[in-house]
Structure 1
Amino acid sequence: MEPETKYSDLKDLSVLITGGGSGIGAALTEGFVAQGAKVAFIDIAEDESRNLCETLQKRYARTPLFLKADLRDIDALKEAAAKAEQAHGPVMVLVNNAAWDDRHEIEAVTPEYWDNNHAINLKPQFFAVQAVVGGMKAAGRGAIVNFTSTSYMLNHHAMPAYTAAKAGIVGLTKGLAGALGPHGIRVNAIAPGWVMTERQKELWVTKEGVENTLERQCLKRTLEPEDMVGPCLFLASKAASGMTAQTMIVDGGIL
């Protein structure tokens, strides 16, 4: 996937992506590799991640660094971030992409389920920032892109714990932007619409669901993981040097 736009300032930049082994994350990993960045990504899925590394090596003669870790384990997250820094230098771009959009009924949610959901969907975003922000502060620059979702804006009925976390990411983004802006660090968010990842296709995509979504979208096509790459590259690059504390909606025009 050769990018249509080249951001020269991303070349050789140290980039860390969470959940970068499959779905939207894999597209993001490829997008930054294609820009010539030094990419490390954290994922728990070993087979998919190693296959992605092999594919990108063949396609670009560049291999991202796969760091296996469970993001619910904050010590493991910090260790992975340290390995990325050791390999590529201080992380200058952090993409908090990893998520778990599990469906659940209100009556079935236990305190343990709620905590586990937020331990994947919200908590690691903060601690990933904490793990890399020292290097960004020392450099006087940096870009953080947090992935949220349009689901909470649409009153999605089937996953209240998830939508709570995704709404929280917007608040986190704005709070971090306020705290880190004086250090030259920008913090923005991307809110995807319904993206046709393999996980979505396996679990929730139906003909009727797609038709209903396309009826509401301005763009009459499904969204693919690659549609999130351009917005993320833009927010990570100097092209967005005046943007921080913002949420960019990429949903084909439903909202």
Structure 2
Amino acid sequence: MAKAISRLVQDPVTDPAEVAAGAGRVAELDALVADCTACPRLVRWREEVAETKRAAFRDDEYWGRPVPGFGPVDAAIAIVGLAPAAHGANRTGRMFTGDRSGDVLYQALYDVGLASQPTSVAADDGLELIGTRITAPVHCAPPANKPTPPERDTCRPWLAREFELLRPTLRTVVVLGGFGWQALLPVVHDAVWEVPRPRPRFGHAAHAALPARDGGAALHLLGCYHVSQQNTFTGKLTPAMLREVLSQAKELAEVG
């Protein structure tokens, strides 16, 4: 399976920093993301997982490539996670799709009016997000769900360009977990938003308003515990807590 996946890549991207800034549209950026081969460890892992599979998904054809963002190109809200799950997005090709973390997230998005349906099981299941786009600082599934700092930094140009393209409409960002929070701060600072010193600290329900240097709208940054099973199974993050943060994001972004 890994060899078949490799053949799907027509023009592999080996250095995101060289090509990401040249993407003129979100769709073009997404296509480039899906062809990235910049991190050898992540390439090996994502393809190994796609070949060996999990028993429950042995009949599925895994995506096994970098997973681009998902949602409208004029989103007012962005949700930033960590990285694709090995048997979730790495299998289905769509962020937070096909795993229990996604089950929790999309149910909450539906409950607050930001998703057209409460489930996300496959890339062609008809789900649409409302004013919301989901992305991540690392686009490949990492071993043990732990990308390295160099892998995060190599992947950063994708997220930076995505935020630049979303700039005209983007008003609020919900960051799921401390890893995403730390990865996002330099991205927004290098774009058009001012990150204060000392930098805002991550925490559940943390809120920072970042003024824009271009004279446009400020960006509201909201923290939320990650929707990992470790957090949702233990009650560290409850559905009500997640809905509260998403509702705040919706209100700040004036969606709906």
TM bucket, shorter chain: 0.3 to 0.5
Larger strand proportion of the pair: 1
TM-score, normalising length from structure 2? 0.38
Larger helix proportion of the pair: 1
TM-score, normalising length from structure 1? 0.38
